Amino acid sequence: MRLLLAVLSICVGLVSMSKNAEAQNYPWCAHLGTGFESTNCGFTTFQQCMDTVSGIGGFCMVNNTYQSSPGSYPLTKRRHSY
């Protein structure tokens, strides 16, 4: 019985140390539906978003609540001068 209690307490301790779930935030949103009442902001590229709305109607927009993580690339391309 003590062994079972020890194993259970170790498992509970390991689970409590895990990282909390966080909502994903991506740079592109698809606005779907006839009145555009449905929004899905789960796209990392404009092309992914366009592939989703293709054939079902809707449009893609930049997610104005998107905050890139440190080290990620911006949405716009940088111009290189050679």
Digit-by-digit pLDDT tens for the chain (82 residues) are: 777 767 767 766 666 666 665 666 799 999 987 666 788 999 999 999 999 999 888 899 999 988 877 665 555 555 666 5
Confidence (pLDDT) at 56: 85
Confidence (pLDDT) at 46: 96
Q: What is the largest CA-CA distance in the chain?
A: 73
pTM of the prediction? 0.54
* 16, amino acid identity: S
Beta strand 38-43 with 28-32 is: antiparallel
Q: Which stretches within 1-82 are classed as H helix? A: 2-16, 46-53
Confidence (pLDDT) at 1: 77
CA distance 16 to 18: 6
* Count of CB atoms situated within 10 Å of the CB of 70: 4
